Structure 1
Amino acid sequence: MVRMLTLEDVLAADDRIRDVVRWTPLERSHSFSEETGADVALKLENFQRTGAFKIRGALNRIETLDDERKRAGVITASAGNHAQGVALAATRAGVDSTIVMPEFAPISKVKATRRYGGTVILHGEDYDAAQAHARELAKAEDRTYVHAFDDEEVMAGQGTIGLEIVEDCPEVDTVVVPIGGGGLIAGIATAVTEQLEDVRVIGVQAEGASSARESLERGEIYERDQVDTIADGIATRRIGDKPFAVMKERVDEVATVTDREIALALTLLLERTKALVEGAGAVSLAAVLAEAFDYEDGETIVPALCGGNINLNQLTTVVMRGLVQLGRYLKIRTVLKDRPGALQSLVDVIADSGANIYAIHHDRTSRKAAVNAAEVELEIETHDTEHAEELIAKLRGKGYAVDVLD
């Protein structure tokens, strides 16, 4: 039977790691509060050392090892944030660390893990494949496996975020937490529900990596065949056994959000709060903005933004998706007669509407266009959704057959 994590476990973890981890800011957002009607306060864990919460649990786990196990070294599997946490925690403790990461892990996270002193092995398509390989190496090399989430000491370390939330915002009504394997929400839920009587804990997963809600509904852990989401930090097929035991008792609800909603939240955080948050860290705010769970006007909600380690190549794509959701980036296709001035006439309509053209792709060889015509794709900057809709209507009113592209 799985032992239930306790507040005492979290407090003990806090004593071990407090000299190393940062007490991250909790800041009220007037912008998101006005937009949602709730009192929204952001827990900015993306400002933690290594750029994510994972150092808390990794450090607590390593600090509990005896000298013999420390000499043997540690090993783990991670898509990136836990990798960096283990590497830095192990280096600070003078412990050798090996990190197995999926082959397609973000390059920025791979490089950062190596900088923190970890030996990186790239293996498998996703976290689960990397974990299986790491388990084999742990047995062969007699290393301690530091699980990313299915470990009581790791869960307790992550729970120290909950201690900070209660201290900084004792009036909190709802804490919203991303779920990958469940270690984070298990720790935070333990810390806040054992100190506050009426607090709710809401978990959030990406639609393409959701297993927690169905697991809670079934009463047993549900494992997905595959995952598909831009939120790579929570792209796990299943939640852990130990987190699941805590979640059944202390998590009120699990919501899901789409990649579009995640992209929008990430983009708004950049623009309004100047905070860079990765997809996995943005899902909590995405759930609030998308009203993925019910809340009341004036309710004090704390979304935990738990990571900021996004690959810059991916950031460009995600921000563009966010701008599409805001109606500030529009990509359209139309067909023009292949004659002088046709393109200029189209451009004039767009310019007269107050929109700005980013790029034009002119293709005379497209099979979709007649021999005497050319297909044109345009990337356009617009003010908002209403402006974009007005532009499309104006173009169609001028006789252009316009297709809006995703």
Structure 2
Amino acid sequence: MSISNKNDYHQNNGVKVGKNTEIRGHVYHTPTTKNDALSEITGTDLWLKHEYKQFTGSFKERGARNALEKLTGNHALALSYHGGLMGIPVTVIMPTIAPLTKIERCKKLGARVVLHGMHIGEVGNEMIDTFHGADFLFDDPPICAGAGTIGLEILEQVPDVDVIVVPVGGAGLIAGIAMAVKTLRPEVQIIGVEPEKAASYTKALEVGEPTPVTITNTLADGLAVPTVGPHSFAVARHFVDKTVLINEKLVALAVLRLLEHERAVVEGGGAAGLAALLPGGPLDVPQMKGKKVVVPLCGGNIDITMLGRVIERGLAADRRLVRFAATVSDRPGGLAALTQIIFSAGASVWDIAHERAWLHTSVDQVVNKVVVEVSGHEHEMRLKATLEKAG
């Protein structure tokens, strides 16, 4: 698809920018609130849109409801829920590594669940042939239009917004938001954020069309789409100002910051917008300082076990979990002496393991691999100095 201007796009695709009356009353009009602590951390006037508070824990209810209304990927939960409400049978096809919580919730909502492939890109022709004659919903104009209602709400709730920072997976979310916002307020900057390990939109921009990329495991698993949708890409490239990449450390830190300062449980992909704004992130730049920024927190569907791993990685990235190895006497009192030093420095032991078999310098010594909790980098340095002084 090629488009030359906004009007051409709207005429060619029948997408109207304005109040979406077909989903009004069926999805939650989520609040957008300022977070003072995160504003200070990022150096911006930061507002968060709470899309993770939708019934199914994701913004995708908007596009799913809109698409189902018009019927003669990871929209599984949203389609299951609204399909059930509307009496439309829904089959969701999910990767075999999909979070267990999503699989079980889809089943409880009455959907048929088919697990296939390692990621959404492996659904392909095999599944299309299997479900011949069915309507496949992923990269359709109604999906983008439904997502665009987030942009309309942002303009109502934060009318003087300068920048909207949006996570990018299949590109439907950012396409919808960007089209809606730019049509009404072209001066508002729209910035996309992708994980480095699943940069399919960035690759598409480089090549000029959707192109498959190799994806690897990422904490932002909800954004791990190997090929952006052709329709979404055609819209997004026309309206989005720029896109940046984030690493796994920033994703983990963003999830941790939202837990601490917003009391919000947000999945890695849902926290990607904040991740880019954190110190050391690609949007930690002078041009962003003082700007009024809105970040959609677009999903909260994360397994408890994954959440625990993300928190630990976030604490490590924040230098609040640190590890070191210490060789001590293997005689009675050796370990006690080490823990006393750690206690005297005000640190707390998180984990400790003895290794005797691989230490060949002395039979009466043992290596202790220790993970301790500290308050940050300065505390870590004080602990290090205390350990070095003790020898």
Q: TM-score, normalised by structure 1?
A: 0.89
8 A contact 1:207–1:258 mirrored in 2: yes
Q: For residue 199 of structure 2, what is the amino acid of its counterpart?
A: S
Whole-Å separation in 2 of the counterparts to 1:10 and 1:185 = 16
Q: For residue 333 of structure 2, what is the amino acid of its counterpart?
A: G
8 A contact 1:5–1:156 mirrored in 2: no
8 A contact 1:203–1:255 mirrored in 2: yes
8 A contact 1:361–1:377 mirrored in 2: yes
Which residue does the alignment assign to 1:322?
314
Cα displacement string for residues 155-202 of structure 1 (whole angstroms, at most 9, x for unaligned residues)? 111111111001101111110000001000000001111111310000
Whole-Å separation in 1 of the counterparts to 2:123 and 2:68 = 21
User: Percent identity at matched positions?
Assistant: 37
1:163-242 alignment runs, 5 A limit: 163-242=152-231
Whole-Å separation in 1 of the counterparts to 2:318 and 2:214 = 33
Match of 1:244, SS state, is helix
1:6-405 alignment runs, 5 A limit: 6=10, 9=15, 11=17, 14-66=20-72, 77-78=73-74, 82-139=75-132, 142-147=133-138, 150-289=139-278, 290-293=280-283, 294=285, 295-366=287-358, 370-399=362-391
1:154: Cα distance to partner? 0.6
Whole-Å separation in 1 of the counterparts to 2:89 and 2:197 = 35
What count of residue pairs does the alignment treat as equivalent? Answer: 382
1:151: Cα distance to partner? 1.1
Whole-Å separation in 1 of the counterparts to 2:361 and 2:120 = 45
Identify the range of structure 1 (180-189 vs 379-388) with the bigger mean alpha-carbon deviation.
379-388
Identify the range of structure 1 (367-376 vs 49-58) with the bigger mean alpha-carbon deviation.
367-376
Cα displacement string for residues 375-399 of structure 1 (whole angstroms, at most 9, x for unaligned residues)? 2122211111210122123213332
Cα displacement string for residues 73-130 of structure 1 (whole angstroms, at most 9, x for unaligned residues)? xxxx43xxx1001111211110111111111111011111111211111111111113
Q: Cα gap change, 1:358/1:382 in structure 2, threshold over 3 Å: closer, same or farther?
A: same
Q: Cα gap change, 1:63/1:13 in structure 2, threshold over 3 Å: closer, same or farther?
A: farther
Q: Cα gap change, 1:303/1:131 in structure 2, threshold over 3 Å: closer, same or farther?
A: farther
Moved >4 Å (runs of 4+): 2-5, 10-13, 367-370
Structure 2 unmatched ranges of 5 or more: none
1:367: Cα distance to partner? 5.4
Q: Cα gap change, 1:368/1:42 in structure 2, threshold over 3 Å: closer, same or farther?
A: farther
8 A contact 2:215–2:224 mirrored in 1: no
8 A contact 1:13–1:157 mirrored in 2: no
Whole-Å separation in 2 of the counterparts to 1:185 and 1:383 = 37
1:302: Cα distance to partner? 0.6
Q: Cα gap change, 1:157/1:127 in structure 2, threshold over 3 Å: closer, same or farther?
A: same
Structure 1 unmatched ranges of 5 or more: 67-76, 400-406
Q: TM-score, normalised by structure 2?
A: 0.93
1:246: Cα distance to partner? 1.1
Q: For residue 282 of structure 2, what is the amino acid of its counterpart?
A: A
8 A contact 2:359–2:366 mirrored in 1: no
Q: For residue 134 of structure 2, what is the amino acid of its counterpart?
A: R
1:44: Cα distance to partner? 1.1
Whole-Å separation in 1 of the counterparts to 2:360 and 2:237 = 55
8 A contact 1:10–1:187 mirrored in 2: no
Cα displacement string for residues 126-145 of structure 1 (whole angstroms, at most 9, x for unaligned residues)? 11113544322221xx2111
1:6: Cα distance to partner? 3.7
